[in-house]
Amino acid sequence: MSDRDQDRARQFTRRALVLGAMQTGILGALAARLYYLQVVEADRYRVLADDNRITMRLLTPARGVITDRNGILLAVNQQNFRAVITAEQARDVPTVLSRLGNVLGLSEAEIRRVQREVQRRRRFVPVTVKENLSWEQVATVEVNAPELPGVSIEVGETRDYPYGPVTAHVLGYVGAVSEAEMRAERSPVMGLPGFRIGKSGIERIHDKALRGSAGASQFEVNAVGRVIREIARDEGKTGREVQLTLDIALQEFTQTRLAEEKSAAAVVMDAHTGAIYALCSSPSFDPNLFPNGISADTWLELTSDPTAPLTNKATTGQYAPGSTYKMIVALAALEAGLATRQTAVFCPGHMELGDHRFHCWKRGGHGTLDMIGALRESCDVYFYDLSRRLGIDRIHDMSLRFGLGQQTGIDLPGERPGLIPNRAWKQRRFNVPWQAGEDLVASIGQGYVLATPLQLAVMTARMVNGGTAVKPHVTRQVQDGPEEQTQWPPVGVSRASLDLVLAGMNAVTMDQRGTAYKMRVTERGLEYGGKTGTSQVRRITMAERDRGVIRNEDKPWRERDHALFVGYAPIQAPRYVVSVIVEHGGGGSAVAAPIARDMLLEAQRRNPARSPPAAPSAQVQPARTG
């Protein structure tokens, strides 16, 4: 081999060695990197790979049911068929929606809403078009499936209220989550399609317990996030059951009875435990209109109705209590030592105070009455006289002991406190002093005095239960939670004073001179007592009195007096108390007392273990007394 050939061989060898070294280095680096990725970082990249391959979606939990005290279902979940559209599959969304609109009867507004929703979401995400489809609608969609690409039927749940308007004001309703609610509670479950939260009533008070816990579904997806298949599914935890103190049969009876009047409210309560057996406001509304969105026309109709069907008058309606307030004045006088059972006052039909004349409801007067007689016949002049000696501050303090002028604390939203005035309140509110004549007006439950029907029921319960500060409640128990409270502290009023007032209330229905005697119950063991009330909604002028006061039935509806009655039964051992108000109904004895009587009878007959069975009561024509 020549020298040139040897040089070429050595040069080639050196190059081969360099190239080999480089290749070895590169392969070594790759091997090291592969070892690092596959061994050292194996767990980390395994998780990342799973995240790219598997996605998780929250599932809407089933809402807990609501029952009455006997376990009867009041709020349940019903199967809900809904039509959805997937833009990716539909391709021409406006055309498909137009065809679907013809099949399901969609309005232009509904179609525009769906189109806006489609634009906001990814094209492979389904958008709800319409919920609560009937079997006929589902079948029609399926038959027309070839003409409706991208449209499918899904099965979900919707809230249902079997008793509808009967329980609307207690249960409330659920609705879609608003943007404000979404911001206030940053929970992933709030954004789930079809998720609903409590908007009013018990649904709102116990919303967190009723919601339950969201489930989850694991899906295998491709690179762009499209679902390939479902891998695992956890349905989550159903919301807790809520049992109420309501007796649905009594609630239904009461609501039906009130529906005979244009606008009314009533409460039936256990005098000793505070359990609410019935709480009704009439007219009512159908809560089933709300879970999937109420139409604008229906909402306008409800909100413009002068009888306010959306308002729970039992807890938010504030009314002058009229003569049902006289027991408070009597108790204040007895406890202050300013009156006894024998205290007598002569009623000529009016009382003079300065330049003003304050009239009694009975034009010719009642003559001389003691305290029981004054309660029995509802003499205004008697309580005018007591209030002059008491003053408004003592009446105010006694009112607070019996639950007036403040929220009762019932487990329902929106309760209003009513109003019991005193000297300090008027000075703060109007910057003027209290006048002596205002004592007289307040003593008969007029003027500034306001109370809700619920407060009047609580007041009555505290009077007849021996003087314990019972508080009302409609929740008996939330599943796995504590039971209802049934023991209460004393109000701090002597039993002698309470017994005296109770004797006057017994006489209202049991004595021939009582204002509600014609509404009495004659069945032994079912007798009831109470107090009538009639409150004016406008002041009667002297000129009107001189011309002759126009009868209630001859006035426009909104100018008629409110009719009230508070009562209890049975007389021998009071257990149930009722409060009834009929807006612009006229006289309490003629209009409210018969309703209260029927409610008390029904309450007792539904509990034969504590009261004897009885035959239907005789119907008596109402008397037009005060």
Query: Any idea which residues carry the catalytic annotation?
Result: 323
Identify the H or E element spanning 496.
Answer: helix 495-510
Q: Taking a C-beta distance cutoff of 8 angstroms, is the pair 447, 566 a contact?
A: no
CA 106/CA 255 separation, integer angstroms: 35
Residue 484: φ, ψ to 5°: -65, 150
Identify the H or E element spanning 582.
Answer: strand 576-582
Is residue 598 helix, strand or coil? Answer: helix
Q: Can the peptide bond before residue 612 be classed as cis, meaning omega within 30 degrees of 0? A: no
CA 70/CA 65 separation, integer angstroms: 14
CA 22/CA 12 separation, integer angstroms: 15
The full DSSP string for 70-122 is T--EEEEEEEEEEEEE-HHHHSSHHHHHHHHHHHHT--HHHHHHHHHHHHHS-
Q: Taking a C-beta distance cutoff of 8 angstroms, is the pair 124, 190 a contact?
A: no
> What does the block give as tokens for 253?
């009876």
Beta strands in 273-360 (DSSP E): 276-282, 345-347, 350-353, 356-359
Helix, strand, coil shares, percent, the chain, to 5: 40, 20, 40
Candidates 280, 273, 213, 265; CA nearest to 63 is: 213
Estimate to the nearest angstrom the gap between the alpha carbon of 585 and the chain centroid.
Answer: 25
Is residue 393 helix, strand or coil? Answer: helix
CA 17/CA 141 separation, integer angstroms: 76
